[in-house]
Amino acid sequence: MEALKAALIVRSGPNYVVYIATTDLLKLAEKDDAVRRAVALFLAEKAENGTPRQREIARKLLQRHPLFLSS
């Protein structure tokens, strides 16, 4: 996928973790409704049930990017 060329994929134990820049994620979310909904649900869950740092980051992203609030 062309949009994920800049993503960083690292192995974390038996799993893989994909790091993508917020700007790239926003571009994907603007183009694809399924991505937007998935990110909005993820951020809402982290804002509610994440660690204190995850809650802080999720809330900031939700406030700064109203694209995710419409879900």
Q: What is the pLDDT of residues 21-54, one digit of tens each?
A: 888 889 989 999 999 999 999 999 999 999 999 9
Task: Check pLDDT > 70 for residue 3.
Answer: no
Mean pLDDT of 59-63: 92
Q: Which is more confident, 66 or 55?
A: 55
Q: Give the closest residue to 65 by CA, choosing from 18, 29, 34.
A: 29
Model pTM score: 0.76
Give the residue numbers spanning the domain of 63. 2-68
Counted domains in the chain: 1
For residue 22 the two structure tokens come to: 């917020």
∠ CA(44), CA(59), CA(48), 5° rounding? 40
User: What is the rounded CA–CA span in Å between residue 71 and residue 63?
Assistant: 13
Q: How confident is the model at residue 8 (pLDDT cuts 50, 70, 90)?
A: confident
